[in-house]
């Protein structure tokens, strides 16, 4: 949610800022801007729309001179997308320029205060108060000023700040919003996320809350709120640069769908040793696990859907009750937690504000948080008590695919691991799940090969007004994800429904021609799904069914059938989701939409 970059070095800053912003556009893309300091004067260029507009306005950055600057790509919170509301924002005299990711909760109060002091506001944003407040407090010591500023701000922020009196440096600070410092040779950077700087350096500092950084071309100093210098360890980013590029694919989303076999392999293989599930990264004792009597899974969006699948599998295998909670609700529902509760938080980015807040809340009550995270060094990864990484690699498309799949793998492995310690899983079931997980990459490859059939189905229904995804048990859990995938990238209204629940009201919405995607991979409920298909067919629905190879009897009921390979029943959700991702992708592609950057969305939701 909003991307920030900063550069200082020997080179012209603007083209480098634009290059970095291009890598962060997935975080927000309704407007963009840069500010560069040249000969002690700050110049600023901003443009509503995609980054390409800004790039054109500045001839790819070449028309903006100067070696130090900050840039921003915006996901609007306060004020519509417009040139004026775009970042950076200048202070009254133009002495300071500020880029911001996050939300200043007390901005109205601060704005009124500053207006009382004669400051004139040009935008509707919360960020502009920061620029003016810095100018108001500045008495020649920028560090002192930022410390004072932090004392006044309520909310979340990652800030990049340029000052015309410090033409060889910029300042950055964060609280509850991600920010890293990139360390180059004779040049240094800040960025909201690693891809922005990956082509220039792999050495980074991960900043903590309230750490203030003064970035110069050959020096980076970090201070705490007492102006004491902090010495941090440099971290090395292990990502392959190619992994954050499209590599010949038209969109990141299809590239990431295609990468799933490899992502699954990388996530599963190291956790299976000598026929047993091993989590070398966990320090939970057997005694602790045996003592757990309640598990909460807390997450947002697709990660929440992983939790719903996980609940079925965890409860079946471990017999520990599992509650799945939407992170933004969890904090306010007074969850009953004690030392026998384990909270599992799931997040691709590791920066989702609601998930972080929920995690902190449980930790405050002395309860352990185990995080399943994709981004190394992210806030959740650093703050959780226990971390299990999904090794999906960088995920750039806003719609998650490979991260969802690898999160599912971890849930399966963790359920097996816990159940084994509890002595509640039979050797046969354990073996079947292990074999299923190990065979999964090949099975997904087989589904990916069925591209033409899935694309054909998409071509028949891409003009649908409304689509229903139905299923029972694990199929219902995956239907939630199939439905979200479709709506977020194709803008088609869709709903996931427990197939048995449909006739309790929602079936009223089925009319001739309505597409129903019926997920029929839970073998013991297959017959019941056939009945549910008949019910919607009787009301004129067209049915696209997804079933396991060999269940050809479904062809008598459904209009179209896509088959997935047979596998252990607990592993099937990892296969089932793949044709649903592909279907959504092709629907969106046929509609000519911006698949990687769907309207109104951002990859990483860093505001509550």
- How many CB atoms sit inside 10 A of residue 534's CB? 11
Contact call for residue 399 and ligand M6R (CB under 6 A): yes
Contact call for residue 268 and ligand M6R (CB under 6 A): no
Q: How far apart are CA 106 and CA 116, in angstroms?
A: 16
To which residue do tokens 């000519």 refer?
Answer: 592
Return the H-helix or E-strand segment holding 4: strand 3-8
Q: How far apart are CA 386 and CA 414, in angstroms?
A: 13
Contact call for residue 347 and ligand M6R (CB under 6 A): yes
To which residue do tokens 């839970």 refer?
Answer: 522
For the bound state, the minimum distance from the C-beta of residue 349 to ligand M6R, rounded and expressed in Å, comes to: 3
Q: Which of 2, 37, 300, 520 is catalytic?
A: 2
Q: How far apart are CA 127 and CA 108, in angstroms?
A: 11
Q: Which of 45, 352, 514, 584 binds ligand M6R (CB under 6 A)?
A: 352
Q: HEC string of 279-318?
A: CCCCCCCHHHHHHCCEEEEEECHHHHHHHHHHHHHHHHHH
For the bound state, the minimum distance from the C-beta of residue 507 to ligand M6R, rounded and expressed in Å, comes to: 27
Contact call for residue 392 and ligand M6R (CB under 6 A): no
- How many CB atoms sit inside 10 A of residue 108's CB? 12
**2 is known as an active-site residue:** yes
Q: Which of 55, 349, 390, 494 binds ligand M6R (CB under 6 A)?
A: 349
Contact call for residue 488 and ligand M6R (CB under 6 A): yes
Site for ligand M6R in 303-322 (CB under 6 A): 303
Q: Which two tokens stand for residue 402?
A: 């490979």
Contact call for residue 42 and ligand M6R (CB under 6 A): no
Q: Which of 101, 188, 328, 355 binds ligand M6R (CB under 6 A)?
A: 355
Q: Which of 31, 125, 341, 348 binds ligand M6R (CB under 6 A)?
A: 348
Label residues 409-435 b or e (16+ Cβ within 10 Å = b): bbbbbbbbbbbbbbeebeeebbebbbe
Q: How far apart are CA 71 and CA 197, in angstroms?
A: 13
**528 is known as an active-site residue:** no
Number of residues forming the site for ligand M6R (CB under 6 A): 16
**What are the backbone dihedrals phi and psi of residue 575, each rounded to the nearest 5 degrees, phi first?**
-85, -45
Contact call for residue 578 and ligand M6R (CB under 6 A): no
Do you know the residue count of the chain?
608
Contact call for residue 344 and ligand M6R (CB under 6 A): no
Instruction: Select the span of 12-20, 360-368, 397-405, 430-438 touching ligand M6R (CB under 6 A).
Output: 397-405
Q: Which two tokens stand for residue 418?
A: 């816990």
For the bound state, the minimum distance from the C-beta of residue 403 to ligand M6R, rounded and expressed in Å, comes to: 6
Residue nearest to ligand M6R (CB): 301
**What are the backbone dihedrals phi and psi of residue 152, each rounded to the nearest 5 degrees, phi first?**
-100, -25
Contact call for residue 300 and ligand M6R (CB under 6 A): yes
Comparing CB distances to ligand M6R, the nearer of 318 and 400 is: 400
Q: Which of 61, 301, 573, 579 binds ligand M6R (CB under 6 A)?
A: 301
- Give the residue numbers annotated as catalytic, written as ranges: 2, 603
Q: Which residues contact ligand M6R by CB under 6 A?
A: 300-303, 347-349, 352, 355, 398-400, 484, 488, 604-605
């Amino acid at each position: 949610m909003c991307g920030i970059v900063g550069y200082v070095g020997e080179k012209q800053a603007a083209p480098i800022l634009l290059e970095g912003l291009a890598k962060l556009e997935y975080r927000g893309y309704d407007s963009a801007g840069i500010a560069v300091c040249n000969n002690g004067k700050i110049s600023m260029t901003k443009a509503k729309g995609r980054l390409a507009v800004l790039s054109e306005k500045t001839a790819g950055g070449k028309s903006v001179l100067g070696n130090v600057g900050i840039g921003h790509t915006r996901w609007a919170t306060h004020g519509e997308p417009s040139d004026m509301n775009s970042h950076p924002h200048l202070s009254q005299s133009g002495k300071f320029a500020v880029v911001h990711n996050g939300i200043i909760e007390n901005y109205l109060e601060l704005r009124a205060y500053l207006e009382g002091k004669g400051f004139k506001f040009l935008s509707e944003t919360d960020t502009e108060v920061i620029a003016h407040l810095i100018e108001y407090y500045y008495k020649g010591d920028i560090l002192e000023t930022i410390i004072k500023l932090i004392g006044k701000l309520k909310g979340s922020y990652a800030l990049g700040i340029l000052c015309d009196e410090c033409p060889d440096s910029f300042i950055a600070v964060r609280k509850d919003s991600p920010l890293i410092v990139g360390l180059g040779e004779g040049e240094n950077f800040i960025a909201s996320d690693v891809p922005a700087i990956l082509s220039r350096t792999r050495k980074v500092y991960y900043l903590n809350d309230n750490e203030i950084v003064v970035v110069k071309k050959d020096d980076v100093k970090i201070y705490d709120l007492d102006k004491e210098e902090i010495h941090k360890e440099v971290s090395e980013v292990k990502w392959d640069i190619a992994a954050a590029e499209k590599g010949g694919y038209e969109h990141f989303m299809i590239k990431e769908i295609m990468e799933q076999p490899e992502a699954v392999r990388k996530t599963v293989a190291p956790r299976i040793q000598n026929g047993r599930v091993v989590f070398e990264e966990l320090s939970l004792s057997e005694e602790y696990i045996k003592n757990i009597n309640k598990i909460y899974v807390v997450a947002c969006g697709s990660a929440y859907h992983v939790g719903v699948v996980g609940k079925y599998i965890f409860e079946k295998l471990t017999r520990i009750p599992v509650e799945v909670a939407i992170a933004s609700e969890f904090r306010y529902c007074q969850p009953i937690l004690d030392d026998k509760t384990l909270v599992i938080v799931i997040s691709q980015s590791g920066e989702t504000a609601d998930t972080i807040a929920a995690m902190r809340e449980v930790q405050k009550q002395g309860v352990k948080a185990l995080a399943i995270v994709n981004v190394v060094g992210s806030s959740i990864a650093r703050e959780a008590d226990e971390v299990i990484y999904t090794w999906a690699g960088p995920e750039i498309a806003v719609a998650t695919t490979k991260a969802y799949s690898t999160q599912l793998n971890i849930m399966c492995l963790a359920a097996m691991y816990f159940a084994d310690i509890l002595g509640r899983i039979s050797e046969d079931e354990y073996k079947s799940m292990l074999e299923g997980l190990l065979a999964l990459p090949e099975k997904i490859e087989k589904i990916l090969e069925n591209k033409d059939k899935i694309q054909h189905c998409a071509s028949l229904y891409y003009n649908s007004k409304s689509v229903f995804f139905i299923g029972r048990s694990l199929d219902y859990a995956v239907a939630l994800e199939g439905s979200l995938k479709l709506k977020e990238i194709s803008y088609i209204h869709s709903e996931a429904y427990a197939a048995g629940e449909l006739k309790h009201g929602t079936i009223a919405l089925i009319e001739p021609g309505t597409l129903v995607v019926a997920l029929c991979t839970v073998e013991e409920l297959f017959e019941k799904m056939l009945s549910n298909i008949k019910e919607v067919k009787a009301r004129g629905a067209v049915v696209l069914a997804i079933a396991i190879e060999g269940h050809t009897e479904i062809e008598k009921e459904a209009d179209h059938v896509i088959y997935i390979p047979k596998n252990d029943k607990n592993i099937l959700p990892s296969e089932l989701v793949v044709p649903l991702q592909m279907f959504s992708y092709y629907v969106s592609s046929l509609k000519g939409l911006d698949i990687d950057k769907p309207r109104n969305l951002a990859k990483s939701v860093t505001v509550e």
